Amino acid sequence: MTYQLALNWDDFLATYWQKKPVVLRQALAPFVDPLTADELAGMAMEEQIDSRLVSRCHGQWQVAHGPFTSFDELGETDWSLLVQAVDHWHPQAAELMEPFRQLPNWRLDDLMISFSVPGGGVGPHIDQYDVFIIQGMGRRRWRVGDRGQHPQHCPTPGLLQVPEFEPLIDVELEAGDILYIPPGFPHDGYALTPALNYSVGFRAPNQRELFSQLADQLLAQDGGNRRYADPDLTPRSASGCVTSEDVQRLRELMSSLLDDEAFACQLVQSLSEAKHELDLEPVDPPYAEGEILDLVLQDDAVLRLGGLRAFYLQQTPGTCFIHGEQFAVPAGAEALMRQLCDHTRLATGALRTALEEPAALAWFTMLINAGYWYFASDWQAEEAE
């Protein structure tokens, strides 16, 4: 099913995005859950899928990590099961991310789904990312406080919380409602009835992460060898002083690294890495190019693998970045590459002209055989099994 989001993006971005939390009543109504609580529990039993069970017993918080073998011991209150990156494994659930593609794909992270019984939640906390929390089945009460000093503590390993806060927002969410929370705003949600919640989260690297990436890249490539030089030095009266000009020269030595085109490529390459495992299966035996052309004629659409990150740099159209790898785009395949990176679903009609170019066909065949994109009928066949 495709989800229609009733939201004026221009107004939302100007007023709320990164600025303040907001409740978007019935923005995804009528809401149909893309999965059941049982299906979510089944996913939390899988080795490759990251899941957590957060519970509270006599005021004591507990966290257990999946994969789980059974949920039989759980009572009827005060627990929540959270499963990360469900969009990597569940195409119907991944549809919930589509309305958010008005925002750049590189900022979009994953879809986390939680199932909570009454009283269940993860307690008051702060996230470092923007999140749209969609209410599915059930009802949940959410409180959101203001940004400010909220010292974090760890009531149990694996759970960071903040003290109680004064709420700016105190609401009960029902199916189809969305709560948007920018980074840094404390929030707390507990279920009033058994509830499913879908969190569409965003990425924003911090300076430390970016500089650490740069350092890793320089070490790996033995780069950054230009050394401080001062051929214009004149005698100094204060020999203990490092002048502002000296510091400026040091800064420039460092910042020149950031202007490097190779650095931008490396940066985007790392932004294309997924944080969670993908359901990646190379085609075996691989398709020949002729078979791909037949499939393009027979099938309606090509889909991007759930959670696969694929980007290109505006200033470097001959390169693209897919799942942490850099690819040289063959001449004649640039338009195809942009379509693949811009859309998660591509009608095959839009591909036919592009694939008349032999280099584009060879490249596209490689991407299908790697399992990065697949034909819509493969998914329908799997669904029917």
- The contact set with ligand SIN (CB under 6 A) reads 80, 114, 121-122, 127, 133, 187, 189, 197, 199
Instruction: Decide whether 83 or 337 has the Cβ nearer to ligand SIN.
Output: 83
Instruction: Decide whether 94 or 133 has the Cβ nearer to ligand SIN.
Output: 133
Q: What is the DSSP string of 29-43?
A: -S---SS-HHHHHHH
Q: Is 129 in the site for Co ion (CB under 5 A)?
A: no
Taking CB within 5 to 8 Å according to partner kind, which of Co ion, ligand SIN, none is near residue 80?
ligand SIN
Instruction: Decide whether 204 or 210 has the Cβ nearer to ligand SIN.
Output: 204
List the one residue out of 189, 217, 225, 380 whose CA is nearest residue 298. Answer: 380
Residue type, 6: A
Instruction: Decide whether 126 or 308 has the Cβ nearer to ligand SIN.
Output: 126
**325 - beta bridge partners?**
322
CA dist 348 → 227, 301, 338 (Å): 53, 5, 15
Cα Rg of the chain, angstroms:
25
Taking CB within 5 to 8 Å according to partner kind, which of Co ion, ligand SIN, none is near residue 56?
none
In the complex, minimum distance from the CB of residue 11 to ligand SIN, in angstroms, rounded to a whole number: 24
In the complex, minimum distance from the CB of residue 54 to Co ion, in angstroms, rounded to a whole number: 12
In the complex, minimum distance from the CB of residue 121 to ligand SIN, in angstroms, rounded to a whole number: 6
Taking CB within 5 to 8 Å according to partner kind, which of Co ion, ligand SIN, none is near residue 199?
ligand SIN
List the one residue out of 301, 297, 300, 328 whose CA is nearest residue 312. Answer: 328
Taking CB within 5 to 8 Å according to partner kind, which of Co ion, ligand SIN, none is near residue 176?
none
Q: Is 169 in the site for Co ion (CB under 5 A)?
A: no
In the complex, minimum distance from the CB of residue 52 to Co ion, in angstroms, rounded to a whole number: 13
List the one residue out of 270, 247, 343, 306 whose CA is nearest residue 87. Answer: 306
The pairing of beta strand 310-313 with beta strand 167-173: unpaired
Eight-state DSSP code of residue 305: P
Instruction: Decide whether 114 or 365 has the Cβ nearer to ligand SIN.
Output: 114
In the complex, minimum distance from the CB of residue 122 to Co ion, in angstroms, rounded to a whole number: 7
- Report the alpha-carbon distance of residue 133 to residue 173 in Å, rounded: 10
Tokens, residue 365: 């065949």
In the complex, minimum distance from the CB of residue 164 to ligand SIN, in angstroms, rounded to a whole number: 15
Q: Is 312 exposed, middle or buried (0-12, 13-18, 19+ CB in 10 A)?
A: buried
Q: Is 127 in the site for Co ion (CB under 5 A)?
A: yes
| Cβ-contact 89, 162 below 8 angstroms | no
Taking CB within 5 to 8 Å according to partner kind, which of ligand SIN, Co ion, none is near residue 277?
none
Which residues contact Co ion (rule: CB under 5 A)? 127
